[in-house]
Chains A and B, each alone.
Chain A
């Protein structure tokens, strides 16, 4: 009896897969939002989704773009390449006009081929891997954040010039983002000729105890640490450095510059440096966007909110300026038209990077990240 039921369910499942996917035939502008919305990296993808939804709601209330309503289609990719391809194909089959995403560089690499073939432009708020724009392989890729080599260069020059470090230990979490930042830092430290990289090593994320590698840092006599990775590992390293009474500066990338790090590292965070997108909180556009968010959700906007907001604004502006959603028109509009966004007045250069965004160095002072001029 049970077995018949199982068999029937299987047949139903097989049959339902034959049903072709239905698509909307309405006259709207469809923007796909691809990124991690579930899983352990969801905190990096959800703020962009929320930002896009907010912008869409505002624009729709004011009459839409070119008379059409804006529709937002979120698609989860969990930052995994195989799921990113699924997400990309789904968005293409649902007929999106533009995509905002993806969030992780790896997922973006996997999905871009699919968008390229479908002639769809993708604007990412956070994929900072330099080859995505600089290799020229993805002419349909744009981003509203500066690439990683800028960050690495900034960290390296800050350490050697401003902090006067002579022996720098560079650590990373072996991940794509973290190691990328570490590689660039190393490259620029060595190119600068003012300091030596005495240690370059990867730590295992999720390990219980990093005191071995910290002891190694001390043994090499390093007077500064540059770390590539995210805030969980960074806070563990900083805490253990303090417990071993090591008083040397610690510099992390924008994966460290956030409330997550402050929350977890607590008092150990004091004095830590991090590079992050230039402080745009003084801009009126940014303040307005963030105030809207807080009044709607009751908490501070999360990571990449500003960049996601800006991406949405840039796209809608480009659609308005070019009078439609066709590829050539949008490409021209994005590269030539300046637009006021939550990260400033930007347009995109020939390769797809945003002009007018950059990185600054921040330091934790009194429990908050403060931009250093």
Chain B
């Protein structure tokens, strides 16, 4: 039983991180039908900025908690800036192009950003400081769920709730929903569609950066390539849940994270990716639009 709990905890942690990144994918796709391949790199850049800031602050003698807050904040700001710039340079000019063009552009930006970080910093793995302190009250069950895991779960949950509140109850959320439903109509009723799209990218990037900082502290090391791996998994989660659908992204992330953890724990860790993709294929065969996706009725 304890083993099952350990695996479940492990699965939930993965699911939280995937969800944070998957939300970015799904929101962007919902609005402009683009797979933002470079989204994983935003997550990676968020982690790197946090690493650099905390490194500088440590050397200048700041204390633990303030480092966490400052590093997280600055990482989020920079991720938002990168997301915004990414959209402006690589996607906006291709707004009206055929489907394949922005996709290739996205793959190109993903490569570019990876190598940019590689050249600007280093190809090696860099140690990420453990910004999350160990809470004493977690000691008894530390072997099942440690403090970092708890923080990850709680932070992700709060972020997702915040996102839902944003989408449902604010003006900008309404504008985003309107643009997703029908871009032309939204324009006609006065919504500044360009700003809404930029905002979508920014929000997605903020979530990804939060994920990056959390994962960095949890694993203890980062390098320029982590974005790619996490990005593919998160994208799989988004598709699994129905791309374009926010609760779908969360559900997809849960299914994916838990499947991976249980497969690794009960079957074999070496094949965990195979199981993850296998589940994806299975679900897509049964429900071609994902778990919560709406079956798109194509009018001829």
Q: Could you tell me which A residues sit within 8 Å of B by CB distance? A: 39-40, 42-43, 174, 201-204, 206-213, 215-216, 218-219, 231-232, 235-236, 239, 243-246, 260, 263-266, 268
Contacts and interface: CB of A to CB of B under 8 A. Distances in A.
Given A236-B221, A245-B143, A264-B220, A211 B6 contact: yes
Given A204-B272, A215-B10, A260-B125, A235 B220 contact: yes
Contact of B10 (A212, A232, A246): A212
Contacts of A209: 10, 13-14, 218-219
B268 A211 contact: no
Given A239-B220, A263-B127, A266-B220, A212 B13 contact: no
B220 A43 contact: no
Contact of A266 (B3, B9, B127): B127
A239 B219 contact: yes
Contacts of B124: 43, 260
A226 B132 CA distance: 29
Contacts of A203: 269-270
Interface residues of B, number: 38
A206 B127 contact: no
B288 interface: no
A204 B273 contact: yes
Contacts of A216: 264-265, 269
A207 B229 contact: yes
Given A211-B10, A243-B148, A244-B146, A206 B226 contact: yes
A280 to B, nearest CB: 25
A263 B230 CA distance: 24
A211 B270 contact: no
Interface string B119-163: 000011111000000000000001100101000000000000000
Q: Which 6 A-B pairs have the closest CB atoms?
A: A202-B270, A212-B264, A215-B6, A211-B10, A213-B269, A264-B127
22 contacts: A39-B123, A40-B225, A43-B123, A207-B229, A207-B272, A208-B219, A212-B11, A212-B261, A212-B265, A213-B265, A213-B269, A216-B265, A235-B125, A236-B220, A244-B146, A260-B124, A260-B125, A263-B127, A264-B125, A264-B221, A265-B220, A268-B220
B202 interface: no
A215 B13 contact: no
Contacts of B264: 212-213, 216
Interface centre among B17, B146, B220, B226 (most CB of A within 10 A): B220
A243 B270 contact: no
Contact of B142 (A212, A245, A260): A245
Contacts of A236: 219-221
B175 interface: no
Contacts of B17: 208
A235 B221 contact: yes
Contacts of B249: none
A212 B269 contact: yes
Nearest to B139: A245
A201 B10 contact: no
Given A40-B225, A211-B9, A236-B221, 7 more contacts: A40-B123, A206-B225, A208-B226, A211-B10, A260-B124, A264-B220, A264-B221
A81 B223 CA distance: 24
A202 B269 contact: yes
Contacts, number: 99
A268 B128 CA distance: 13
A245 B264 CA distance: 20
A243 B144 CA distance: 10
B276 to A, nearest CB: 10
B7 A215 contact: yes
B113 interface: no
Contacts of B28: none
A202 B3 CA distance: 19
Given A211-B13, A239-B220, A244 B143 contact: yes
Contacts of B223: 232
A215 B3 contact: yes
B203 interface: no
Contacts of B3: 215, 219
A212 B9 CA distance: 9
Nearest to B215: A208
A229 to B, nearest CB: 13
A235 to B, nearest CB: 6
Nearest to A232: B125
Nearest to A262: B127
Interface in B211-252: 215, 218-221, 223, 225-226, 229-230, 233
Contacts of A245: 142-143
Nearest to B265: A212
Nearest to A261: B125
Contacts of A202: 268-270
A186 to B, nearest CB: 15
Contacts of B219: 208-209, 236, 239
A350 B125 CA distance: 40
A30 B142 CA distance: 59
B291 to A, nearest CB: 22
Contacts of B230: 208
Interface string B75-89: 000000000000000
Interface string B250-279: 000000000011001100111011000000
Contacts of A42: 123
A42 B118 CA distance: 13
A216 B261 CA distance: 11
Contacts of A246: 143
Contacts of B233: 208
Nearest to A216: B265
B7 A204 contact: no
Interface centre among B3, B11, B221, B273 (most CB of A within 10 A): B221
Nearest to B270: A202
Nearest to A231: B125
